[in-house]
Amino acid sequence: MEEFEKKLGYTFKDKSLLELAFTHTTYVFEHGMGHHMSNQRLEYIGDAVLDLVVGRKLYDMVPEASEGYLSKTRSIIVCERSFAAVSRTLGVGNLLKLGKGEAATGGSDKDSTLADAFESVIAAVYFDGGFEEAERVILENLDQTIKDAVDGKLFLDYKSRLLEIAQKKNNQHKIRFEIVSETGPAHMREFEAEVRADDVFLASATGHSKKDAEQNCAKLAIEKYNEIFGA
């Protein structure tokens, strides 16, 4: 927990709040505990705090932006993929309290579970230290994500973005994804995807589902495609 607090940038006065943030519903049900003893209620508050903090940050960063731009950009930042990435950096998966079935099926590395836990941690900071501390922690941990979103480097769907870019070129390259390998046990399967523009190799990447592997691959391929064929 101390190592996690260092990475997060906040030390809890009430450690039970942090423990609650890491308690998954499957653990609660398995141990016959009350539903309120899982992190779902914290998740609800964390989601609201994150929306406000990120929304305000974008409002200040891009003063001439329309409401539509602000909403779209916030949705790219305040999403499962972004929060799961931060949770992995913080090592949240190793601290989660999961039911045996959930743990056995790789629950500690599921995007949805990690994202929910991050929202819960933010709520725990909010209750423990107040709004200003929660705001500071959010902006410190999402700083690069926010910058990338404003700079147009982040997308909700990288695969669609790559296809869109390829269709804008005069020769309209055919983008082809292929799953080239599957490794690991059934509950922690890892897929490797490759993508080509016609016969030109662009990138490869892995993920815990075919969809994630292709999305991760497409994210890398966008930059490579622009290098080869021109932005």
The pLDDT of residue 172 is 77
Q: For residue 69, what is the domain's CATH number?
A: 1.10.1520.10
Catalytic-role residue among 116, 119, 135, 214: 119
pLDDT-derived band of residue 223, with 50, 70 and 90 as boundaries? confident
Residues 6+ positions from 182 with CB-CB distance below 8 Å: 189, 190, 191, 192
- 165 and 135 in a single domain? The answer is no
Question: Do 52 and 128 fall within a single domain?
Answer: yes
Active-site residue among 47, 128, 194, 212? 47
Asked whether residue 122 falls in the same domain as residue 219, the answer is no
Higher pLDDT, 230 or 43: 43
- pLDDT, residue 187, reads 67
Per the annotation, the verdict on 212 as an active-site residue is: no
Whether residue 120 is found in the same domain as residue 143: yes
Indicate whether 48 and 106 sit together in one domain: yes
177: confidence class by pLDDT, cuts 50, 70, 90: very high
pLDDT of residue 103: 86
The answer to whether residues 139 and 196 belong to one domain is: no
Q: How confident is the model at residue 189 (pLDDT cuts 50, 70, 90)?
A: confident
Q: Write down the pLDDT at residue 89.
A: 95
Domain shared by 112 and 165, yes or no = no
Average of pLDDT values for 161-182? Answer: 83
Q: Among the three residues 122, 150, 178, which one is the final residue of a domain in this structure?
A: 150
**What's the pLDDT band for 169 if we cut at 50, 70, 90?**
low
Look at residue 97 and give its three-state secondary structure. Answer: strand
Average pLDDT (135-154) is 94
> Residue 117: CB partners within 8 Å, gap ≥ 6?
21, 22, 24, 39, 87, 92, 96
Q: Which residue has the higher pLDDT, 223 or 135?
A: 135
Instruction: From residue 93, give the alpha-carbon distance in Å to each of 46, 111, 170, 173, 176.
Output: 18, 10, 45, 40, 33
Asked if residue 36 and residue 146 are part of one domain, the reply reads: yes
Q: What is the mean pLDDT of residues 81-91?
A: 94
Tokens of 19: 């423990």
- Record the tokens describing residue 5, joined without a space: 């607090």
Give the residue from 93, 117, 150 where a domain finishes.
150
Residue 38 DSSP class: S
State the pLDDT confidence band at 62, using cuts at 50, 70 and 90.
very high
Give residue 170's Cα distance to chain centre: 34
Report whether 24 contacts 110 (CB < 8 A).
no
* Contact (Cβ atoms closer than 8 angstroms) between residue 115 and residue 87: yes
19 is catalytic: no
Distance linking the first and last C-alpha atoms of the chain: 45
My answer on whether 11 and 111 are in the same domain is: yes
Domain boundaries, position 180: 158-229
Q: State which of 83, 117, 150 marks the end of a domain.
A: 150
On the question of pLDDT at 171 being above 70, the answer is no
DSSP string, 160-226: HHHHHHHHHSTT-PPEEEEEEEEES-GGG-EEEEEEEETTEEEEEEEESSHHHHHHHHHHHHHHHHH
| Residue 136's pLDDT band (cuts 50, 70, 90) | very high
Question: Dihedral of the CA atoms 196, 197, 201, 203 (nearest 10)?
Answer: -60
What CATH number should be reported for the domain holding residue 221? 3.30.160.20
Read off the pLDDT of each residue in 220-227 and give the average, rounded to a whole number: 89
Domain total of the chain = 2
* Integer Cα distance of 221 and 165 in angstroms: 11
**Which positions ≥6 away from 203 have C-beta within 8 Å?**
194, 195, 217, 218, 220, 221, 224
Rounded to an integer, the average pLDDT of 115-139 is: 98
- What is the model's pLDDT at position 209? 83
- Does one domain contain both 57 and 95? yes
Q: What is the pLDDT of residues 26-42, one digit of tens each?
A: 999 988 888 889 999 99
pLDDT at 160: 83
Residues 126 and 24 in one domain: yes
Kindly calculate the radius of gyration of the chain based on its CA atoms and give it in whole angstroms: 20
Amino acid letter for position 95: L
Residues 143 and 178 placed together within one structural domain of the fold: no
